[in-house]
Amino acid sequence: MEAANAKRLQNQVAIVTGASSGIGQGIAIRLGQHGANVVVNYHSDDEGAQATKDQIEAAGGKALVIKADVSKEEEVEAMFQTALDTFGTLDILVNNAGIQKDAALVDMTLDQWNKVIGTNLTGPFLCARAASKIFLKQGIRKEVSRAAGKIIFISSVHDIIPWAGHVNYATSKGGVAMMMKTMAQELAPQGIRVNSISPGAIKTDINKEDWSSREGEEKMLSQIPYGRIGEPDDIARVAAWLASDEADYVAGATIYVDGGMTLFPSFAE
List the catalytic residues: 169
Question: Whole-number minimum distance, CB 251 to ligand NAP, in Å?
Answer: 21
Question: Whole-number minimum distance, CB 157 to ligand NAP, in Å?
Answer: 6
- Of 205 and 246, CB closest to ligand NAP: 205
b vs e for 171-190, b when ≥16 Cβ sit within 10 Å of the residue's Cβ? bbbbbbbebbbebbeebeee
Contacts of 81 (CB under 8 A, 6+ apart): none
Question: Whole-number minimum distance, CB 215 to ligand NAP, in Å?
Answer: 17
138 and 147 in contact (C-beta within 8 Å)?
no
Question: Whole-number minimum distance, CB 190 to ligand NAP, in Å?
Answer: 26
Quote the radius of gyration of the chain (alpha carbons, Å): 18
Alpha carbons 148 and 132: distance in angstroms, whole number: 9
Judged by the rule CB under 6 A, the positions of this chain that interact with ligand NAP are 17-24, 41-45, 48, 69-71, 96-99, 119, 154, 156, 199, 201-202, 204-207
Concatenate the DSSP letters of all residues of 113-136 into one string: HHHHHIIIIIHHHHHHHHHHHHHH
Question: Whole-number minimum distance, CB 146 to ligand NAP, in Å?
Answer: 27
DSSP 3-state of 37: strand
Residue 195, Cα to own-chain centre: how many angstroms?
A: 11
Side chain identity at 16, as an amino acid letter? V
Nearest to 10 by CA among 40, 31, 39, 27: 31
